[in-house]
Structure 1
Amino acid sequence: MHCDRFQFENDVSIIVPVYNAEKWLKQCLDSISEQQFDCRLQVSIFDDSSADSSPKIIQNWIDSLNADSKIKVIFSRQTSGEPKGCGFAKNIAVRQSNSQYLCFLDSDDVMAANRVRTLFEIAVKYDSHKNLLIGSRFHRLPEDSTKRFTKWANSLSEYQLYTQIYTANGPTLLMPTWFCSRRVFDTLDGFDEGGKGVAEDLIFFYKHLDCGGKLMKIDEDLLMYRYHPQQTTFSVSEQTVWNLRLERFEKHVLNNWTHFSIWNAGKEGRRFFRSISDENRRKVSMFCDVDLKKITKGFYIYEESKDKPKPKVPIVHYLEAKPPFVICVKLDLTDGMFEANLSSLKLKEGHDYFHFG
């Protein structure tokens, strides 16, 4: 393993933002202690005004480290005022660190003992331009939570890491699994600090791609990603995520198409149609579906439109529809029927269709 001993004081900094995490924090920190990593490891923790015992748990963990421990710890906290949010906490934790590579870890998650070593070796081997965002497979606790989401994220191909970035699932590389060089962070000037309700991970992810950044997923489970009602994900509204992905989808895909079809004449397809710009709405040549009731109606009329006459879009069977398609169908809900129908058309994802479900 190559360890750069000159430019940086440490090789990897584990970035841990903390807010009211007393229920899970000790297990998270213990997984850091158990890392099988021979190079220089730093842990950078920032506590964002926790009102529980999180600061005490962190200090007790630091005190428990052996005097000869290879782990160096930086711990700071905001002791007064309202919490400023995940983006702010991550930025502080990164900026107070001094390592060549950054390994992100949420305070309610647990790392496999080989996580840092595995991702560091991959980064050293493949990240020659320091513009690679690396992730991995994961599992959830409780085990039965978010089955469809977990299956989707863990099964994405390298190609789909780029083509499925517009789905409601968020980044195709799950943020708690991220590992990257400091240059990736510096290029984007860190995370958005808008506070609670801001999708700072998705914003960072899109900006990374817009700057020519690359993606890689390791086909190994390196993280236990905990599911619970208090997790930060639930502070971000579905509408906020919808707006972010729709804005980027229009800019990078729809604005370049002369026409397209919407796969789903139901609620989600109609919502998509109503949400896009007037210019792109005029490019919609048809809706398609398998539901005979919708197809028999023949048309969808956009009654809320101020246009005269009101937009009237044909509804056809999917076999009669013309690509490219915007897929507004949720995956893995029809026992494989939708996926089989799509596959039968022999289309190329990212060219003939994109998922926006």
Structure 2
Amino acid sequence: MPRISVVVPVYNAEKYIGETLDGIAAQRFADFDVHIVDDCSTDGSAAIVQAFCARDSRFHYHRSPSNFGGPAGPRNLGIAASSSEFVAFCDADDVWVAHKLEVQLAVAEATGAEVISAVIRDFADGDPLPRFPRPHADVPWTAISHRRLLLKNWIALSSVLARRSALDAAGPFNPAKNHVAVEDFDMWLRITGMGGRVVRVGVPLVHYRKLPTSISASKSMMIRKALNVIGEDYGRRGRAGLFRVIRPLHWFLYVATSAWMRAVRREL
């Protein structure tokens, strides 16, 4: 059984999925398998993935019984199809650097954290990928507390390496329509709400492709959905009434923190 399983949901990603899988296959840490779950694509994604699987036995193709309308359902199928100690996630248009899994596994072993995320770097479609050198010394990391997550989702899904035990304890990604594009935020809040430890590696390990057609492209829609997820977290802790009172404050803090993050990422 491999140490890490990688889950990749795919829907009509024929333009990018090959580069994404190349980045996974090139990992310096090689004890992993990959479960690519096709959410009933209507383009050439299936043929590209199946050809890749035929070349590398670590890669496995699965097809959803029907279209879920979002990545949560395919991710749940990928998790269920795997059995490794750790699960890593990658969206079908993002690209990992070659030392991504190697660095994060070392941090996981050093910290005992349940979720290990990392810095990402945006790139526009068609731009060349910058090179990120492998860190030579101890890799910096910071803890992401539950309280800090309530201000902003600091965790990019394609950067996550998670312990299966934490995913199992939190339950599956929520595939409901109102959770599309924030189902990962909901998962991290559930894990940290149960006392799970989350850390963020302070070096870039993922190239995040910025696309105008992305389901997370609408900022106002994303903030509304994020606030709904935060409200659900308050409800799980018996504080739904409090959230209704302070929701405008959360809106302001989420907008302000998002603007600060964008400014920092432009400078880096």
Both proteins in one fold, TM over 0.5: yes
Q: Match of 1:158?
A: 142
Cα deviation, residue 23, structure 1? 1.4
2:26 to 5, 25, 34: 34
1:113 and 2:98 equivalent? yes
Corresponding letter in the other structure for 1:185: L
Give distance in 1, aligned partners of 2:3 and 2:90.
16
1:46 to 30, 37, 47: 37
Q: Match of 1:126?
A: 111
Give distance in 2, aligned partners of 1:74 and 1:188.
25
Corresponding letter in the other structure for 1:34: A
Cα deviation, residue 180, structure 1? 1.1
Corresponding letter in the other structure for 1:78: S
Corresponding letter in the other structure for 1:330: A
Q: Per the alignment, do residues 73 and 333 of structure 1 end up closer, same or farther by CA in structure 2, a change over 3 Å counting? A: closer
1:187 and 2:169 equivalent? yes
Q: Match of 2:266?
A: none
Q: Per the alignment, do residues 251 and 141 of structure 1 end up closer, same or farther by CA in structure 2, a change over 3 Å counting? A: same
Q: Per the alignment, do residues 332 and 117 of structure 1 end up closer, same or farther by CA in structure 2, a change over 3 Å counting? A: closer
Cα deviation, residue 74, structure 1? 2.1
Aligned to 1:22, the other structure's residue is in SS state coil
1:103 and 2:88 equivalent? yes
Aligned to 1:245, the other structure's residue is in SS state helix
Q: Match of 2:224?
A: 239
Give distance in 1, aligned partners of 2:258 and 2:76.
36
Q: Match of 2:49?
A: 58
1:78 to 41, 51, 64: 64
Corresponding letter in the other structure for 1:13: S
Q: Which has the larger radius of gyration?
A: 1
Give the unaligned 5+ runs of structure 1. Answer: 1-8, 66-70, 144-156, 258-274, 288-325, 335-357
Give distance in 2, aligned partners of 1:56 and 1:85.
21
What is the CA RMSD across the aligned residues, in angstroms?
3.4
1:220 and 2:212 equivalent? no
Contact 1:166-1:249 at 8 Å conserved across structures: no
Cα deviation, residue 63, structure 1? 2.4
> Which has a greater percent of helix?
2
Aligned to 2:51, the other structure's residue is in SS state helix
1:330 to 249, 256, 268: 256
Could you state the TM-score of these two structures normalised by the residue count of structure 1?
A: 0.59
Q: Per the alignment, do residues 186 and 252 of structure 1 end up closer, same or farther by CA in structure 2, a change over 3 Å counting? A: closer
Give distance in 2, aligned partners of 1:23 and 1:203.
29
1:20 to 12, 32, 36: 12
Contact 1:85-1:196 at 8 Å conserved across structures: no
Contact 2:144-2:199 at 8 Å conserved across structures: no
Q: Per the alignment, do residues 256 and 196 of structure 1 end up closer, same or farther by CA in structure 2, a change over 3 Å counting? A: closer
Q: Match of 2:154?
A: 172
Q: Match of 2:78?
A: 93
Give distance in 1, aligned partners of 2:111 and 2:143.
17
Greater displacement, 47-56 / 118-127? 118-127
Q: Per the alignment, do residues 47 and 196 of structure 1 end up closer, same or farther by CA in structure 2, a change over 3 Å counting? A: farther
Give the unaligned 5+ runs of structure 2. Answer: 126-140, 261-268
Q: Per the alignment, do residues 255 and 72 of structure 1 end up closer, same or farther by CA in structure 2, a change over 3 Å counting? A: closer
Q: Per the alignment, do residues 328 and 11 of structure 1 end up closer, same or farther by CA in structure 2, a change over 3 Å counting? A: closer
Q: Match of 2:244?
A: 276
Corresponding letter in the other structure for 1:175: L
Q: Per the alignment, do residues 76 and 195 of structure 1 end up closer, same or farther by CA in structure 2, a change over 3 Å counting? A: farther
Contact 2:68-2:175 at 8 Å conserved across structures: no
Q: Per the alignment, do residues 247 and 226 of structure 1 end up closer, same or farther by CA in structure 2, a change over 3 Å counting? A: same
Contact 2:232-2:240 at 8 Å conserved across structures: no
How many residues are aligned here? 242
Higher relative contact order structure (alpha carbons within 8 Å, sequence separation ≥ 6):
2
Corresponding letter in the other structure for 1:94: I
